[in-house]
Amino acid sequence: MSVVEHVREMAAAGLHSNVRLLSGLLLTMSGNNPELFSPSQKYQLLVYHADSLFHDKEYRNAVSKYTMALQQKKALSKTSKVRPSTGNAASTPQSQCLPSEIEVKYKMAECYTMLKQDKDAIAILDGIPSRQRTPKINMMLANLYKKAGQERSSVTSYKEVLRQCPLALDAILVKGAEVASMTINIIQSIPNLDWLSVWIKAYAFVHTGDNTRAINTICSLEKKSLLRDNVDLLGSLADLYFRAGDNKNSILKFEQAQMLDPYLIKGMDVYGYLLAREGRLEDVENLGCRLFNISDQHAEPWVVSGCHSFYSKRYSRALYLGAKAIQLNSNSVQALLLKGAALRNMGRVQEAIIHFREAIRLAPCRLDCYEGLIECYLASNSIREAMVMANNVYKTLGANAQTLTLLATVCLEDPVTQEKAKTLLDKALTQRPDYIKAVVKKAELLSREQKYEDGIALLRNALANQSDCVLHRILGDFLVAVNEYQEAMDQYSIALSLDPNDQKSLEGLQKMEKEESPTDATQEEDVDDMEGSGEEGDLEGSDSEAAQWADQEQCGLIHVVL
């Protein structure tokens, strides 16, 4: 057995560090004595050495060695064409065991993607003739084309994947109905796949933005005994409820999925965002710690920690964490939204707009991406651009409670379109009386019109079947306007119990507590009358001395600690 064959066996056994060391020594020897190894042996050594570098995540160095290997293979091919076979028995097994040139190019493309050089990855894979492309090459090409915005090329490559492997479900997830027909045609011929047509139908609805029908279809699958408690289905349901604006059910499904799989990472960024929005910052912090213990090489834990910082009003830290998440996964929509929101709140609106636009490109059916962009337009007084975007969303995603509310939000910014806003909000609330964003905007409109009784009725109705911090706080504001101070305090207290960090509720409660009732004023006068008595004076002196002693003791403790 030759030394190159020993290297090959170690590579097959996964002894990468050993391969790297030995192949490096042999390549140096070959450089000093070109006749030491045959061209095919040198090609093998270069490939095995590059593979070991790839395993050590030294991608740039690996690309360099793969390139040298391909040049060696090219020279080897020319030599074999010019020079006839010598009949050397030893060369025959070597030629049979040569690493695949196609595999080398795929590994190079993987290196380029890890280095964020997608154009170079596409170029190297495009150079492989179509007939020689394996399913994994077509899948990588499809994903790269999609990321680059080359939709037609990506669809072609996904179809090629499904032609070779009809049950490659991830290809269907990415492109839905455009490629699903290739799988549906073979379902009848395979046993135990009667559920797959329903699954494909569900994700076709997802791709068209029809969240309601997608939810209903996946629920019908999830209820089937054989697919009950499937983590992927629960995660999809949670994401769809989130897109539909049903945060309560979204959180519920995420919690179910997390209980079934304690190591679940996918979708946890959205879950963390929802918890942060509800003011459950301690839960968000715990979730972030748990995810970091699972893996810090995914975007999700960084996004969750970023959400904690954002809702704690630490926008610079949220910006850093969002950027770190994007560095790990440039396709993370939630990371782009986090960074965009942090930039917007820091006054860097134009930079925020870039991130929201990229999020829209990656997830054109997610309304929250458009909401972020429209908020940026409104923050920069670009009402016209906001109106154009809101109308496009309304036409693209259809007239549902969310799109109607988004359009109404922009209309509320212009006095000329106030009536239109009112009509849109009424339509939204007719479709979904419990949709919180629509209720909030309708309450804002009623407040402007000083129709406080109507606002109170609206908010009480919305709170009949749900409890939300913002709704309780706004109800408190309305009750103050009609002099219902005690109940207003109750509403502010409920709001703070739901979100202890809600500053507006805290300000409202403090303002109410400062309002003095006549009884309190009388009691204060009685106390003032008693201040002249000696006994009271002694008591006051005693309290003052105790307070002074306590302060001194506390200072002493601080000095001791220091």
Neighbours of 163 (CB within 10 A): 13
Residue 520 has pLDDT above 70, yes or no: no
- Give the tokens for residue 74: 């090219």
Per-position DSSP letters for 171-239, written without gaps between them: HHHHHTHHHHHHHHHHHTTSTT-TTHHHHHHHHHHHHHT-HHHHHHHHHHHHTSGGGTT-HHHHHHHHH
Beta-sheet strands, E only, within 13-55: none
**Cα 528 from chain centre:** 60
Which residue, 436, 463, 478, sits at the end of a domain?
A: 436
Residue 527 has pLDDT above 60, yes or no: no
HSE-CB at 223 with a 13 A cutoff on CA atoms is: 7
- 118 occurs within a structural domain: no
Element housing 135 (H / E) = helix 135-147
Residue 529 has pLDDT above 80, yes or no: no
| Residue 177's pLDDT band (cuts 50, 70, 90) | low
Exposed e or buried b for every residue in 479-504, given b needs 16+ CB within 10 A? Answer: bbeeebeeebbbbbbbbbebbeebee
Domain that includes residue 226, residue range: 175-244
What amino acid occupies position 545? E
Contact 50, 107 (CB under 8 A): yes
Residue 528 has pLDDT above 90, yes or no: no
- 276 occurs within a structural domain: yes
Q: In this structure, what CATH number is given to the domain that contains residue 331?
A: 1.25.40.10
- 53 occurs within a structural domain: no
Which residue, 360, 381, 416, sits at the end of a domain?
A: 360
Quote the CA–CA distance of 1 and 239 in Å, as a whole number: 56
Total structural domains within the chain: 4
Contact 72, 30 (CB under 8 A): no
pLDDT in tens, 320-367: 999 999 999 999 999 999 999 999 999 999 999 999 999 999 998 899
Q: Which of 398, 344, 395, 332 is nearest to 372 (CA)?
A: 344
Task: Lowest mean pLDDT of 14-28, 185-199, 257-271, 434-448, name the range.
Answer: 185-199
pLDDT over 90 percentage in the chain: 62
189 & 222 share domain: yes
Quote the CA–CA distance of 514 and 496 in Å, as a whole number: 18
Q: How far is the CA of 39 from the CAs of 4, 65, 90, 98, 533, in angstroms? A: 12, 15, 13, 11, 109
Quote the CA–CA distance of 396 and 13 in Å, as a whole number: 54
Which residue, 341, 360, 379, sits at the end of a domain?
A: 360
Quote the CA–CA distance of 493 and 499 in Å, as a whole number: 10
Q: How far is the CA of 62 from the CAs of 46, 52, 69, 144, 202, in angstroms? A: 10, 8, 10, 20, 42
Contact 413, 378 (CB under 8 A): yes
Element housing 254 (H / E) = helix 247-260
Residue 179 has pLDDT above 80, yes or no: no
277 & 345 share domain: yes
Residue 278 has pLDDT above 80, yes or no: yes
Please report where in the chains the tokens 């090629």 appear, as a residue.
Answer: 160
424 & 481 share domain: no
| Residue 7's pLDDT band (cuts 50, 70, 90) | very high
- What pLDDT is recorded for position 222? 81
- Give the tokens for residue 202: 């569900």
Quote the CA–CA distance of 175 and 63 in Å, as a whole number: 31
398 & 381 share domain: yes
- 368 occurs within a structural domain: yes
pLDDT in tens, 363-395: 988 999 999 999 999 999 999 999 999 999 998
| Residue 12's pLDDT band (cuts 50, 70, 90) | very high
- Give the tokens for residue 321: 């964490």
Q: Which of 215, 343, 321, 199 is nearest to 269 (CA)?
A: 321
Q: How far is the CA of 248 from the CAs of 1, 17, 271, 496, 502, in angstroms? A: 66, 50, 11, 18, 19
273 & 350 share domain: yes
Q: In this structure, what CATH number is given to the domain that contains residue 218?
A: 1.25.40
403 & 478 share domain: no
Contact 247, 281 (CB under 8 A): no
Residue partners of 72: CB distance under 8 A and separation at least 6: 39, 42, 43, 46
- Give the tokens for residue 313: 């009003």
Contact 165, 135 (CB under 8 A): yes
- 352 occurs within a structural domain: yes
Contact 237, 219 (CB under 8 A): yes
Q: What's the whole-number mean pLDDT along residues 302-321?
A: 96
350 & 375 share domain: no
Residue 429 has pLDDT above 50, yes or no: yes
- What pLDDT is recorded for position 190? 78
- Vertex 19: Cα angle to 15 and 25 (nearest 5): 155
Q: What's the whole-number mean pLDDT along residues 221-243?
A: 89
pLDDT in tens, 62-80: 999 999 999 999 888 776 6
- 443 occurs within a structural domain: no
353 & 376 share domain: no
Q: Which of 173, 178, 252 is nearest to 214 (CA)?
A: 173
- 134 occurs within a structural domain: no
| Residue 512's pLDDT band (cuts 50, 70, 90) | confident
* φ, ψ of residue 331 in degrees (nearest 5): -95, 5
DSSP code of residue 414? S
- 471 occurs within a structural domain: yes
Q: Which of 286, 407, 276 is nearest to 342 (CA)?
A: 276
Collapsing DSSP states into helix, strand and coil, what is residue 194? coil
- What pLDDT is recorded for position 304? 97
| Helix, strand, coil % in the chain, rounded to nearest 5 | 80, 0, 20
456 & 397 share domain: no
Residue 540 has pLDDT above 80, yes or no: no
Residue 554 has pLDDT above 60, yes or no: no
